[in-house]
Structure 1
Amino acid sequence: MEASSAAPEAGTGRGQEASSSGQGSGVDLSTITRGAWKGSDVTQPEIDWLYRSRRIPAEVSCRLPRDELEPAPEPGEYVVFLAHFERGFGLPASDFFRQFLDFYQLQPHHLPGNAIFYLTCYATFMEAYIGLRPTREAFARFFCLRINSVQGKNIPKPKPPVKCGSCIIGSRQGSPFFNFSGLESCRAWQETFFYVKNKGAADFINLPAYQPRTPSRANWSYNPGTNHIETNRIVRFMEQLMKDTNICSDNIIRAFISRRVLPLQRRSHKISEMCGPRDPTKITSCVLTKEDVVLKARQICQTDMPMDWEWGFLPLSSTNPPTDEACERFPRISAEARGPCRKRDVDKVDPDPYVPWMDLKMGWAHTSRPGNFSTNDSGSDDEVTVLEVTSRGQSIRHRRPKQFEPTLLPPSAPSCCREALRKREMPVASGDTPPGPHILLKQARYHAVPAKLLPPLWGQHKCGVRGPEPTTTREEDLPSPPEVEDTGASNTDVGTEDAGRTEHLVPSAPKKKKKKSTTSSPSKTMPEPSVPAASPPAKGQPETAAPSTAEPPAAPTGQPAAAKPTPPEGTDGV
């Protein structure tokens, strides 16, 4: 393992200097834990989730790591990361992603989770707002690559690069591109590796073979500047777009999330040519609400996107194609026109629903993804990783056995609701009343996560679980090309098992009305229940007041009733 970190870099000799300086100072680089391999804890239910959500096609087989700390693929296997799949990556990898790796001589383990997010945002802007396939020339104009080296006071310069995540993608100085912020707590992403392999002769992976080496920094200084004609036109087009519209970085983030598409996956056509819920490039035909789009965005980046967001500039689609001026400025738009493709069947349930942070595979809560709450899971799911925050703010992960596995909840239900259900099902003494929803939600807080990192409280369900979806359909089946077989290896229908949709778990408490002054009309105020001012508790009863089981009072005249959650508006039917 030391040999991989001390491998010499081509044409520079920096690797040899780093190795000799580290050995000369007596520093044992094998003891460095930052950016080092620490094994993998990916489970089979997480692999099943990748198949259900069409992130991995059926033509690819997956194998879980055993007890190795560093990847040890067998012949024909490739190393991939679950953290990458959660940020817009999918198999087979897109041609742009493969060209990016080959041009800079990088491996997937060189790119941390935030780097994949930046690549996803760049590809989304190129396809959804210009109508072009992403290119390395435009990427090099907007972004630069930096080395992530081992840190330590005892390590002399030049410091060697870390083994995992050694390539950092950042905005180039003076770049006109949008600014994005990844998660600062995206740690332990390298613990999500596993192996994939093609089942047949066709390549459904499109990744370079695994090599346990550090980056050679080839072409890292490449910048076309103003020498590339199309890139110059892209810069002028983007500057004019920012001037004429309200487009911002949040538009780009919610574009690929709401479209349910993976920008770094090989697809039959671009985002600008998508044609409705049955488009074959979607991972699912199900539609996300505005709230779910925001919550999913906050899982992969830092954003202040409001829950009632509106499009600053509508992304392109088959019903909103690029303008004639854009097609004239960029001839490649017409050259990359979509060919015939087939429609996809409508999904009955969402295979990739919103899951709270406690069930993410990265960040502060290092636990399992959807599907790991079933009692029929393998023995590897008998333990759950929890996080404790010490008085100094340090995070410590440890494993504890699961003590309760309710079977009445869907697989994607968060742990807070399961704890609440467990307390409600506990036997109570005769005459006792179970605590109300407000007490359950207070008791079911995420004890392991600081308050500032909790997911936002939206709607009337503070646990982040949404009620039943409205029965009305919100997307129309837009016209699409003839239904002929798609010969491309893109977004193949895989898997028959679907994750359950989240259900209404805890009844929402009626909203409290603000007390008005005594001079206001009594007919406009909510009637308060007549409760004795100082009634002593009954013998053997707790002093806490039991929640009322009566129906909530009707809304007063002149005030509309609480509206049901509705899907987002303005998604242009795509």
Structure 2
Amino acid sequence: MAQESDGLEEELARMDEEFGAPDEETGGRGQEASSSGQASGVNLTAYTRGAWKGSDVKQAEIDWLYRSRRIPEEVFCRIPGKELEPAPEPGEIVVFAAHFERGFGLPASDFFRRFLDFYELQPHHLPGNAIFYLSSYVAFMEGFVGLLPTVDTFACFYNLRIKLIQDKKLPLPRPIVQCGACILTPRQGSTFYKFPGLESCRAWQQTFFYVRNSGAADFINLLAYAPGAPSRANWKFNPKEGHVETNRIVRFMKELNENTDISSDDIVRAFVSRRVLPLQRRAHKISQMGGRRDPTRITTFGLCKSDVVLKAKQICKTEMPVNWKWGLQPFSRKRPPSSQALRRFPRILAEVPVSFEPKRLFRDDVDPDPYVIGNVHKMGSTHSRRPGSFSAQNPTNAYDTHDNVVVLEFQLARTPSAERAPKRQKKGSTGPTGRKRKHDISVASGSASGMRPETNQDAERATPPPQQMFGTVRCRQSSILPSGR
């Protein structure tokens, strides 16, 4: 038996160990480059691309994050004041609303935390598009391979490159940008699917705000804010042919490309249509989801195909048609990985929960996470009418119609009539602030979701989570597992 082993068991054991010390060769380059401008007397305040420019996050964004269950009730948020650069108070951590829109959520997933720790990165080092690339990678690994993502496999597919201030007049080495210094790019010759990001995601650094845990339990799973450029630790790491499981994944991808019509759009649709946040800690993998009451979903509200297209275009460049079809459907509880896949990737069985007990006791009658029309941010129901029940007789349902529907009772939290949602705003309204912002965050002025207009006092107060959601049900954060569970 030992002669037939291909080393997978030893490789998996190595992956479970600590990732190791920073790369000595590149460990100090980031700090040297970041200080070069100051050493030469260059005034870097004139360079605004990639620089801190304050935050324009409003109460509407915070309410949206709670309502769409991107932030659990156990976390408090604080909107920045007039500071240009983050100045968190003790116990606070800096996060970005633009990241939440692209697949990030709290508490952060174990993979995302390992990724940050291994490369010694902070959230402000990653631009909005990098979060989208990480989300797509996780969706592929969980939904189409059936495995939890690993940093080793990610490193075989992607490079980490430093972003410098682009000005030939600056002396060498040029300074590193203050925000978005880490750029994720596919490795040369990588067979992984390409996901074009949005060029319009340039003001993402203006969406920072502060979060802190309300109790002893950690519902954030991020390190405290540390200003400055990244150390570039382990940025040259590439397991190459030495990683047995990744080699199997590459061969598996080739078989998928030859035998199916899988595309990058399928991977984006996998987490958009199933209403999950790939970089949020969840009860189980995408391949183990089982219907719209699944506890890993941020909402029980389903999407039709046109809504999936609208949401996908918010986070990436895509020519996805309105009446799209799956090239390859992701795995689910009803359609698990095949016996051949289990033999190829024995780790799949080790990652399957012993039991599955859905705990979602709510039902959303309004989409808590609607799409955005242009630069006018509105909160309310999605473009199409709400899909019918999840069944094979509903052809417009973008979620897997073959999945089992988990039937559960749910508790209603009645809302007094005086607190019910106001009528939906007329088309073309710019919201209570009268502003149209450039960055694309899925939030809006008050409308059918029950969100009240913002006031000046709201922007300065610490924000507790709202107690009612949509006037019908109250969320129980069963999809959020406390750290250590």
1:222-258 Cα shifts (integer Å, max 9, x gaps)? 0000101111111111111111000010110111100
Equivalent residue number for residue 363 of structure 2: 346
Q: State which of 164, 170, 186 in structure 2 corresponds to 1:171.
A: 186
CA shift, 1:471, in A, is 5.6
1:442-468 Cα shifts (integer Å, max 9, x gaps)? xxxxxxxxxxxxxxxxxxxxxxx7354
CA shift, 1:208, in A, is 1.1
Take 2:205 and 2:343, find their aligned partners in 1: how far apart are those partners? 44
Equivalent residue number for residue 337 of structure 1: 352
CA 1:285 to 1:477, structure 2 compared with 1: closer, same or farther past 3 Å? farther
1:31-54 Cα shifts (integer Å, max 9, x gaps)? 321111111011112111111111
3-state SS of paired residue (1:357)? coil
The two structures have a TM-score, normalised by structure 2, of 0.75
Q: State which of 337, 354, 358 in structure 1 corresponds to 2:375.
A: 358
Relative contact order, higher structure (CA 8 A, sep 6+): 2
Unaligned runs of 5+ in 2: 1-23, 429-485
Equivalent residue number for residue 243 of structure 2: 228
CA shift, 1:184, in A, is 1.1
Q: State which of 298, 305, 321 in structure 1 corresponds to 2:336.
A: 321
Residue identity in the other structure for 1:347: D
3-state SS of paired residue (2:152)? helix
Q: Verify: 1:188 aligned to 2:199, yes or no.
A: no
3-state SS of paired residue (1:358)? coil
Take 2:220 and 2:74, find their aligned partners in 1: how far apart are those partners? 9
Q: Verify: 1:156 aligned to 2:171, yes or no.
A: yes
Take 2:414 and 2:233, find their aligned partners in 1: how far apart are those partners? 40
Take 1:472 and 1:504, find their aligned partners in 2: how far apart are those partners? 29
Q: State which of 294, 301, 306 in structure 2 corresponds to 1:286.
A: 301
CA shift, 1:217, in A, is 0.3
Equivalent residue number for residue 42 of structure 1: 57
Contact 2:293 2:405 in 1 (8 A): no
CA 1:257 to 1:504, structure 2 compared with 1: closer, same or farther past 3 Å? farther
Take 1:90 and 1:318, find their aligned partners in 2: how far apart are those partners? 23
The two structures have a TM-score, normalised by structure 1, of 0.64
Equivalent residue number for residue 66 of structure 1: 81
3-state SS of paired residue (1:126)? helix
Take 1:494 and 1:134, find their aligned partners in 2: how far apart are those partners? 38
Take 1:333 and 1:482, find their aligned partners in 2: how far apart are those partners? 27
3-state SS of paired residue (1:326)? helix
Contact 1:246 1:312 in 2 (8 A): yes
Residue identity in the other structure for 2:44: L
3-state SS of paired residue (2:317)? coil
Equivalent residue number for residue 71 of structure 2: 56
1:340-387 Cα shifts (integer Å, max 9, x gaps)? 33231221111112221213xxxxxxxxx444xxxxxxxxxxxxxxxx
CA 1:467 to 1:270, structure 2 compared with 1: closer, same or farther past 3 Å? closer
Contact 2:163 2:182 in 1 (8 A): yes
3-state SS of paired residue (1:115)? helix
Q: State which of 355, 366, 383 in structure 2 corresponds to 1:466.
A: 383
**In the TM superposition, what are the counterparts of 1:81-160 in structure 2 within 5 Å?**
81-160=96-175
CA 1:501 to 1:90, structure 2 compared with 1: closer, same or farther past 3 Å? farther
Contact 1:248 1:312 in 2 (8 A): yes
CA 1:477 to 1:172, structure 2 compared with 1: closer, same or farther past 3 Å? closer
3-state SS of paired residue (1:170)? strand
Percent identity over the alignment is 62
Contact 1:110 1:164 in 2 (8 A): yes
**In the TM superposition, what are the counterparts of 1:104-503 in structure 2 within 5 Å?**
104-338=119-353, 339-344=355-360, 345-359=362-376, 369-371=377-379, 411=380, 466=383, 468-469=385-386, 474=394, 479=404
Take 1:23 and 1:265, find their aligned partners in 2: how far apart are those partners? 38
Contact 2:27 2:233 in 1 (8 A): no
Count the aligned residue pairs: 390
Take 1:50 and 1:495, find their aligned partners in 2: how far apart are those partners? 22
Unaligned runs of 5+ in 1: 1-8, 360-368, 372-410, 413-464, 485-492, 507-574
1:246-301 Cα shifts (integer Å, max 9, x gaps)? 00101101111001110000000000000001001001111111111111111111
CA 1:230 to 1:270, structure 2 compared with 1: closer, same or farther past 3 Å? same
3-state SS of paired residue (2:265)? helix
Cα RMSD for the two superposed structures = 2.9
Equivalent residue number for residue 442 of structure 2: none
Take 1:19 and 1:165, find their aligned partners in 2: how far apart are those partners? 13
Contact 1:467 1:504 in 2 (8 A): no
Residue identity in the other structure for 1:466: H
Contact 1:49 1:370 in 2 (8 A): no
CA shift, 1:158, in A, is 1.3
Contact 1:89 1:265 in 2 (8 A): yes
CA shift, 1:480, in A, is 7.5
Take 1:16 and 1:60, find their aligned partners in 2: how far apart are those partners? 32
Take 2:422 and 2:72, find their aligned partners in 1: how far apart are those partners? 20
